[in-house]
Structure 1
Amino acid sequence: MHQPQGFHQGNSDLVFKLRKAIYGLKQAPRAWFQKLTVTLLQLGFTQAGSDHSLFISTSSTTSIYILIYVDNIIITSNSSLAIQNLIQTLYQSFSLKDLSKLHHFLGIKVNSDNAGGIHLSQTKYLTDILDKLNMSTAKPIKTPMAPSLKLISDSTQVCHDPSLYRSVIGFLQYLTITRPDIAYTVNKLCQFMHNPFEVHCKATKRLLRYLKGTLHHGLHYKSSSDTEIMAYCDSDWASDQDDMRSTSGNCVYLGSNIVSWMAKKQRVVSRSSTEAKFRSLASLVTKIQYIQNLLSELHIKSSQPPLI
């Protein structure tokens, strides 16, 4: 073993101490987050219990919210001066790059409108997927899944490339961040990742054709003071012909803006459609409780009890 450049030769009886966190090893993100957390807590921020990557600082006139994903940071506040002061303070402890107003974050494009709302989309991410799969010139279709299609694991034709199938499903899972309309279809296709057949590959191709025709779809959030929580849920009883389990689906609105959605197979077999719906309702209630806790930490009070 040789000393790195810049060290004096000699002292062969000494050892090197490796600071693992700065060499891009597995503990690096954890070490960075711990350091950033300590700094923010010293600056008077509170770490949210509902989401440990969210930090909150409020006063009588100013509220600042920080959202962290590894080394990506979003800062928002009702005071632009407070944001600039915070950035200057963080410059004293970290080497930062200020990208100004938020336009892209983790593959999500953020567009602001004149009314104070924002539009979230993954158009570029989806375009890259279609190009990679040679689907950019595919003929669009109007629905993500054939209404009468019942996917099962028993089929005569095996998928010719299971690895590609799994990769595509992984891409589509990330796309559901801004596309609630494909959540149910992606959930169904995910259930066959361990052993896909040709029928599942064809269903995936149909979904990609649907996405080709809805390339610019996304989420639009209006600027509103309405904090009423309204939620919907349903289930399809024994829709899985392999194990007879049901699939739950729900979505939650804050005012007129959708903030949460889900499609997930239930863990146990329901003996009736009523039981399946109650399980879906129970899952939704726990989600609403989480959202209420998060809103409470953000100092946002709902105008009235949630409506399901």
Structure 2
Amino acid sequence: MSKPQRHAIFMAAVLGAFLVIRPGTAGAFSSGPLDGLTNAPGEGNCTGCHASFPLNSGTGTLEVLGLPALYTPGSAYLVEIRLADPAAARWGFEFTIIDGQGDSQGSLSPVDGNTQVSTGGAFGRTYAKHTSAGTNPGQTGQNSWTVSWTAPPAGAGGLGLFVAGNAANGNGTNSGDRIYATDFIMAEENLSAASLPGPVAELMPCFPNPFNPRTVVSFELAEDAGVSLTVFDVRGLQVRTLHRGDLPAGVHRFVWQGDDAAGRPQPSGLYIARLTGPDGRDLSAPVKMTLAR
């Protein structure tokens, strides 16, 4: 499947629904889950089979460790996925790393027998996931897995790791298991303000884009500064201020939930994020984002 075809499918899936529960998925998949269940845009998650509880309804946690806010193109990272739940006695996970167009980026490889890598699903993405050995039956409290990821060459831009974890009770069925999902958003170091001559700040492309129900707006400050991050609609009307105040130098990320200052959901359409200084002047070129409900 060509990249334009994959992009068209990705766009259609996002426009249809951000979280798609795929019918007909079966079994506990202790040897590894099906591709496409990471809760990434256009994908479902493990609650399609492990349906006893809503997503993220347990008292456990799912963490992504080992990745920086700014990744260096071509560099290798050891990504640790850590899942904890006091009621679990068997464990599973799956993650993918994609760009703003929904395509996999970089290369994944297992470092031991607890993980494996596959490519497939509706979008032909690459996934890291558990093996049978990696479920660690009988282990309580928490479990973790480590996978090697080599970042793509320069120019890939912002990337997102999307992961789902299964904190299973080990009863041999799909019932009684808790499913968790989270994500980790990274910007490309070479596209940051630190690598550009002159600018005080750099507003980065939103991720994901298009989005539903939320997107992450990131920017980097080359020095400490007072800034405002504001969302406008295509008419130029202010929708919501995501931040106003002083921030230290470095990368900052803010989530927009597609709502206004009163918490009211906004309609599908094009929106613009602006990063301005205390005098109201733009510190960086505005970025466009598309809300697709």
TM-score range, shorter chain: under 0.3
Q: Counting strand residues as a fraction of each chain, which structure ranks higher?
A: 2
Give the greater-gyration-radius structure (CA).
1
Higher RCO (C-alpha under 8 Å, 6+ residues apart): 2
